[in-house]
């Protein structure tokens, strides 16, 4: 087999976005498990209804591949309710590992093969999948067509690409600013949202602020016409289902009017004007092969992400390339099949330029001002008062940025003075940020060229609770150096 030519995927998705996705999915999936379970159950109900509506178009769905699967909950649905077999792939290995807990919680007998990988370099052979699924993930790529091309490569002739919950750009919006999800909105935003008026003000998608605050750049430029043009370019048949918002009278009344004005009595005009999300079933040209999938030999459907050669699986359950030195052990039920360079940077482990509060070694980086460790894996953190210090060492050449992740509570924001976090490095201030919303925040700033960085975090105001003698401001869950792009 010919070697894979290294792809320049930076225009489709910057490496900093991939890093942010790993951080975000780890935090979101493992940080709030009780809330996450309810969210995943609701998504499976919604996706299951769409799936059943289009069963006639789908045909055979084994083997399947879900890309951007997060914890793989929809793949578990397909495996247990429809008897399908296949793979769940996400760039976050930790999210996929959390899916194993979901399987136990739901009492599912069957599971997909879990693979950490990159949607722009899928570790699967050409024409190997009969169904590829993607939910809420295409809009995280600036060049969505690049993902389409990779999906087409791994789809068998006659196979189906099913993507859903992708945003359609609305025409009726002033696009004034990015807005967070409902629970992090300000009171006036919630009122406008209840009335169905907030969408006329915000920049494309309500909730985009949360992902973008992590550094996950969103692509919300695609109108229903753009989606249709892209689907028609690469697939010979399609079926669509559009979901236009009806958040209060401000959207329900216009939606009804646009539906009456649509010459085909469809959601097409309403989706152009009000946006919403799109579900699409796209069929590749050709006839579906009759071969049978054997999950006991799942490695036969994989390829090396470094050189493109076939892979095997040894007695220790390690996937190994037959041509180069690439290998991926079974780590907690997940095979990390990211290209070697990406894997080394996205999963660095214990390193001198990272303070990962989920690793015991993080304590060696901390100096003064930290309270005891709290939280669970994926969301471990320490509260600080008005000042805390730490240190990092450079391990990579080139310009660096400091990246700090923390959490601001409603109590922090309601003390009467402007909530603020300042960061000093080696005695010089590198940034000052006013915090105006509750929830997770990420601070990034350039740092000077040095071998070691002494970091000082300064936060105001502080607050107390009657049952606790600590003075607290915000909590911190990650500090690290990242290469400047």
Q: Which two tokens stand for residue 425?
A: 């490095």
CA distance 161 to 181: 29
CA distance 251 to 172: 11
* pLDDT interval class at 33 (50, 70, 90): low
| pLDDT tens profile 132-170 | 999 999 999 999 999 999 999 999 999 999 999 999 999
Position 4 pLDDT exceeds 70: no
| pLDDT tens profile 77-103 | 999 999 999 999 999 998 898 888 888
| Statement to judge: residues 377 and 325 lie in one domain | no
DSSP 3-state percent helix, strand, coil across the chain (nearest 5): 30, 30, 35
CA distance 74 to 44: 6
To the nearest whole number, what is the mean pLDDT of the chain? 92
CATH number, position 257: 3.40.50.150
| Statement to judge: residues 95 and 215 lie in one domain | yes
Is it true that the peptide bond before 63 is cis, omega within 30 degrees of 0? yes
Is there a domain that residue 67 lies in?
yes
* pLDDT interval class at 31 (50, 70, 90): low
Is there a domain that residue 9 lies in?
no
- Give the pLDDT confidence score for residue 36 in this predicted structure: 76
| Residues 85-116: b if buried by 16+ CB within 10 A, e if exposed | bbbbbbbbbbbbbbbbebbeeeebeebbbbbb
| Statement to judge: residues 20 and 42 lie in one domain | yes
| Statement to judge: residues 376 and 297 lie in one domain | no
Q: Cβ of 299: how many Cβ atoms within 10 Å?
A: 16
* Helix (H) and strand (E) counts in the chain: 13, 24
- Give the pLDDT confidence score for residue 104 in this predicted structure: 87
Q: What angle do CA 68, 320, 18 make, to 5 degrees?
A: 30
CATH number, position 423: 2.60.120.260
Question: What are the backbone dihedrals phi and psi of residue 344, each rounded to the nearest 5 degrees, phi first?
Answer: -65, -35
| Statement to judge: residues 300 and 438 lie in one domain | no
Is there a domain that residue 37 lies in?
yes
**Boundary residue ending a domain (295, 313, 341):** 341
| Statement to judge: residues 57 and 161 lie in one domain | yes
| Statement to judge: residues 311 and 267 lie in one domain | yes
Is there a domain that residue 346 lies in?
no
| pLDDT tens profile 312-371 | 999 999 999 999 999 999 999 999 999 999 999 898 888 999 998 988 899 999 999 999
- Give the pLDDT confidence score for residue 34 in this predicted structure: 63
- Give the pLDDT confidence score for residue 38 in this predicted structure: 84
CA distance 289 to 303: 20
Q: Identify the CA nearest to 216 among candidates 35, 357, 55, 25.
A: 25
Q: Which two tokens stand for residue 356?
A: 């990962």
| Statement to judge: residues 215 and 326 lie in one domain | yes
Is there a domain that residue 6 lies in?
no
| Statement to judge: residues 460 and 417 lie in one domain | yes
How many domains is the chain built from?
Answer: 2
Q: Kindly provide the residue ranges of all beta strands, DSSP E only, lying in 53-106, ordered along the sequence.
A: 64-67, 86-90
- Give the pLDDT confidence score for residue 6 in this predicted structure: 56
| Statement to judge: residues 158 and 263 lie in one domain | yes
To the nearest 10°, report the CA torsion of 66, 70, 72, 77. Answer: -90
pTM of the predicted model as reported, rounded to 2 decimal places: 0.88
Question: What are the backbone dihedrals phi and psi of residue 399, each rounded to the nearest 5 degrees, phi first?
Answer: -60, 140
| Statement to judge: residues 329 and 366 lie in one domain | no
| Helix, strand or coil, per DSSP, at residue 80 | helix
Q: Domain of 438? A: 354-483
| Statement to judge: residues 136 and 244 lie in one domain | yes
Is there a domain that residue 348 lies in?
no
- Give the pLDDT confidence score for residue 358 in this predicted structure: 83
Q: pLDDT > 90: what percent of the chain?
A: 75
| pLDDT tens profile 432-460 | 999 988 888 899 999 999 999 999 999 99
* pLDDT interval class at 11 (50, 70, 90): confident
pLDDT, mean of residues 4-20: 80
Is there a domain that residue 189 lies in?
yes
* pLDDT interval class at 401 (50, 70, 90): very high
Position 180 pLDDT exceeds 90: no
| Helix, strand or coil, per DSSP, at residue 323 | coil
- Give the pLDDT confidence score for residue 32 in this predicted structure: 58
| pLDDT tens profile 256-310 | 999 999 988 899 999 999 999 999 999 999 999 988 899 999 999 999 999 999 9
pLDDT, mean of residues 219-239: 96
Is there a domain that residue 162 lies in?
yes
């Amino acid at each position: 087999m010919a070697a894979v030519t290294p792809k320049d995927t930076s225009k489709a998705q910057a490496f900093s976005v991939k890093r942010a996705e790993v951080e975000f999915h780890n935090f979101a999936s493992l940080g709030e498990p009780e809330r996450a379970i309810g969210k995943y159950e609701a998504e499976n109900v919604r996706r299951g209804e769409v799936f059943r509506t289009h069963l006639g178009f789908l045909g055979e769905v084994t083997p399947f591949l879900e890309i951007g699967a997060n914890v793989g909950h929809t793949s578990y649905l397909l495996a247990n309710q429809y008897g399908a077999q296949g793979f769940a792939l996400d760039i976050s290995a930790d999210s996929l590992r959390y899916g194993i807990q979901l399987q136990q919680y739901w009492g599912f007998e069957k599971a997909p093969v879990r693979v950490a990988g990159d949607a722009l370099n899928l570790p699967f052979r050409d024409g190997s999948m009969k169904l590829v699924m993607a939910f809420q993930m295409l809009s995280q790529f600036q060049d969505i067509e690049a993902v389409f091309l990779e999906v087409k490569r791994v789809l068998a002739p006659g196979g189906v690409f099913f993507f859903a919950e992708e945003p359609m750009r609305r025409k009726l919006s002033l696009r004034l600013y990015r807005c967070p999800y409902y629970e992090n909105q300000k009171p006036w935003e919630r009122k406008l949202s209840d009335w169905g008026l907030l969408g006329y003000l915000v920049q494309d998608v309500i909730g985009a602020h949360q992902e973008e605050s992590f550094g996950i750049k969103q692509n919300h430029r695609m109108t229903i016409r753009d989606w249709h043009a892209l689907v028609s370019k690469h697939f010979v048949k399609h079926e669509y289902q559009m979901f236009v918002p009806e958040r209060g009278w401000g959207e329900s009344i216009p939606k009804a009017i646009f539906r009456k004005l649509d010459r085909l009595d469809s959601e097409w005009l309403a989706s152009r004007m009000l946006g919403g999300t799109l579900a699409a079933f796209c069929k590749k040209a050709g006839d579906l092969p009759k071969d049978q999938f054997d999950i006991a030999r799942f490695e036969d459907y994989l390829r090396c992400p470094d050189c493109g050669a076939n892979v095997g699986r040894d007695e220790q359950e390690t996937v190994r390339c037959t041509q180069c030195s690439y290998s991926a052990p079974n780590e907690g039920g997940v095979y990390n099949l990211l290209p070697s360079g990406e894997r080394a940077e996205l999963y660095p482990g214990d390193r001198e330029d990272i303070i990962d509060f989920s690793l015991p070694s993080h304590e060696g980086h901390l100096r003064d001002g930290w309270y005891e460790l709290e939280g669970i894996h994926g969301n471990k953190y320490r509260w600080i008062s008005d000042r805390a210090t730490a240190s990092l060492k450079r391990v990579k050449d080139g310009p660096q940025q400091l990246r700090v992740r923390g959490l601001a509570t409603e109590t922090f924001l309601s003390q009467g003075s402007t909530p603020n976090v300042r960061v000093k490095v080696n005695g010089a201030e590198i940034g000052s940020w006013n915090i105006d919303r509750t929830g997770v925040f990420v601070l990034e700033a350039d740092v000077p060229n040095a071998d070691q960085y002494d970091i000082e975090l300064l936060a105001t105001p502080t607050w107390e609770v009657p049952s606790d003698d600590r003075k607290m401001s915000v909590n911190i869950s990650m500090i690290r150096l990242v290469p400047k792009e």
